Structure 1
Amino acid sequence: MKTTYMNLDKILDLKKWRNLQDSLALVTKLAIVTVNYKGVPISQHSSVRPFCETMRKNPNTAKLCEKCDARGGLEAVRTNAPYIYLCHWNIVDIAIPIIIDDKYVGAIMAGEVKIKDGDKHPPLEQMLTVPSKRFEQNLNNNEEIQSLYDSIPTLSYTEINDAAQMLYRLCNYIVEEAMNKNLILEVYEKMAPVKEDLSTEDISYGYSLDNIQNIKKELANTVTNAYVKT
């Protein structure tokens, strides 16, 4: 596979993805941002909470937010599944890994919500612990910050988990379809002009068996349609 295809911004149509991401944020009531394997955002932050936006603008608190994101992402990669956790502000976040050919290429970071009081749920790991005194001081000493913190939406754990699973399945489906299209392009690039020494390895390296089987079906349909028209 071409190396560039391991970059999410080369696989996804970012303009369409951003519009979809905005819609998903509205439907799931989660803030969502897509990052590459380095943790660098490749999309805008959909429905970002004013509290989290304020914290990330502050160099001191931003470092803590980034550490939580990094650790959450690592856990998601390790389990190859959505990972739901708590940040240092006790806010629920989700890391959804995007893995292609056993390689981590990026993630969808979602969340910025609270769990409803009294809601029963599995214990959630807090990625980073801030001393309680410091935590309270940051909130209590600033009425505006406290107000922003209180305005963070509240969801049940079931709603959060269902949204995480939906995003995981949807994202992997979209990426898989994009990979199939990229493989088609590589096939045509290799075949035009046709090379006498063309081998399967030239066009299939890095792609999964499912990718190749899907493309075989697509090419077979194309040939059949062309034959029928002729």
Structure 2
Amino acid sequence: MSNKSIESFIDPSYLEEVLGSFSKATGLHIEAVNRKGETLAILGNKKRNDFCQFIRSNSKGEKKCLASYKEATLEAAKWNEPYFFRCHAGIVIWAVPIILDNVFLGSIICGQILLWKPDEFFLRDLKKSNAKDLDYDILQEKVKSVSICSPEQSQAAADMLFVVVNHIVKRNIHKLEEENAYRLESLKIKADLENRKKKKSNLEFTDYGTYLKKERRFLSYIRLGDKTRAENYLMILLTDLLTKTAGDIATIKIRILELASLSSRAAVEGGADAEQAMSILKDFNDEVDRIDRVEEFFVKVHKVIATFLDGIFKLADKKHLSLVTNARNFIIENYHKPITIKATADHLFISPSHLSRLFRLELDCTFNDYLTRVRVEKAVELLKKPEFSVEQVSKAVGFKSQSYFAEIFRKYIGVTPLIYKNSLF
């Protein structure tokens, strides 16, 4: 990255838009220069004044200007703040460094002003340093074109420019991070496809029926707040979607919007705040409308679903977060067994009363509420398989009584297990 230039990392049109406006607002001349002091662009409509143009009309004067810019640019980078200097012709200029990701790219040169009207001392120095190469009478006349700016005004302009340049840099750091995220997302998809080829399973995704089955399982993981499994299944869904659509942007956008909407509702069912979830979903939908890259779709949906999951578990204490997460994982892995809060607490080396408090405090439900929710979610999956009867499903998910299973299932799903199963076949 150290060999990169400003143009490689900062959008020239945005640079012109922001700094061009700064130039128009202040009436100051602004240039973007590289590490060598070479001018890359004059920003805004403020050209070099007649005096500076005349100085640069001579090759020796041009070299001296370049040397001044280079020295100022390096000094500004050294201190990472605006650097004021007088060029060889006595003009006041300041440089604001452009440092992106700890790499010095160049600077923004501003000014070409005088702090007071040219006096006899200024003119004497001017003649001494430039009269050999340029007509001194013309220099005296041209210097009248240089704007006068007080020290206070100059310092204020330099401070404001420093803020503006830092804004531009931070914006581009964010863009770089986004590009890296898109690149990583693309690599993940390619890796998933390669793994499928090696396993020779699920290589070709041919129907949406298969996709929707995976989607339902993914949503169940969101309702349970199982972040790891939800994220793993999301990756599978996105790879399937890319394969099925052959990368068609319009279709992918529709499916992504659907997935985000379903995920928001699943998160609310899992305990997330409904108002907050709907607000997040609205922002996501507005953002997706402006996207035209597959990788960007996938990165954004990863982020919004992670936000939904975070909304289910708003845990401030990391120790509590770890305990609740481990308890939840223990339940998911052992729901089919006659597990109790005591067995789970013993597994975590804490007291049952402490675990009970954590569930109520952090998940807003009891231990048994969460265990029941997991069992019902698993029952829904098994009831979709014709080879399992309601009685078998009841036992498989940990219910000792089929009648109690039917009562609980109806409470959560709205119908009895038998009616639900009959509606599927």
**TM-score between the two structures when normalised by the length of structure 1:** 0.72
Give the match for residue 190 of structure 1: 184
List runs of 5+ in structure 1 lacking aligned partners. 119-129, 197-217
Q: Distance in 2 between matches of 1:30 and 1:148?
A: 17
Determine if the alignment matches structure 1 residue 173 to structure 2 residue 167: yes
Whose strand fraction is larger, Structure 1's or Structure 2's? 1
SS at match of 1:85: strand
Give the match for residue 421 of structure 2: none
1:9 aligned to 7, 10, 14, which one?
A: 7
Determine if the alignment matches structure 1 residue 65 to structure 2 residue 56: no
SS at match of 1:163: helix
Give the match for residue 36 of structure 1: 34
Whose helix fraction is larger, Structure 1's or Structure 2's? 2
Q: Distance in 2 between matches of 1:191 and 1:142?
A: 63
Q: Distance in 1 between matches of 2:4 and 2:302?
A: 28
Determine if the alignment matches structure 1 residue 147 to structure 2 residue 141: yes
Determine if the alignment matches structure 1 residue 93 to structure 2 residue 174: no
Give the match for residue 108 of structure 2: 108
Instruction: Return 96-105 or 132-141, whichever deviates more.
Output: 132-141
Residue 74 to residue 34, structure 1, CA distance change in 2 (3 Å): same
1:70-85 to structure 2, matched below 5 A, reads 70-85=70-85
Residue 224 to residue 84, structure 1, CA distance change in 2 (3 Å): same
8 Å Cα contact 1:91/1:112 also seen in 2: yes
Instruction: Return 138-147 or 33-42, whichever deviates more.
Output: 138-147
Q: Distance in 2 between matches of 1:132 and 1:181?
A: 46
Q: Distance in 2 between matches of 1:163 and 1:221?
A: 42
Q: Which amino acid aligns with 1:92?
A: V
8 Å Cα contact 1:85/1:92 also seen in 2: yes
Determine if the alignment matches structure 1 residue 223 to structure 2 residue 217: no
Q: Distance in 2 between matches of 1:24 and 1:145?
A: 29
**TM-score between the two structures when normalised by the length of structure 2:** 0.41
Q: Distance in 2 between matches of 1:5 and 1:61?
A: 28
8 Å Cα contact 2:84/2:95 also seen in 1: yes
SS at match of 2:166: helix
Larger Rg: 2
8 Å Cα contact 2:113/2:146 also seen in 1: yes
CA offsets, 1:166-216, max 9 Å, x none? 1111111111111111211221122124146xxxxxxxxxxxxxxxxxxxx
CA-atom RMSD in angstroms: 3.2
Q: Which amino acid aligns with 2:87?
A: C
With CA pairs under 8 Å and 6+ residues apart, which has the higher RCO, 1 or 2? 1
> What is the total number of aligned residue pairs between the two structures?
194
Alpha-carbon offset, residue 158 of structure 1? 0.9
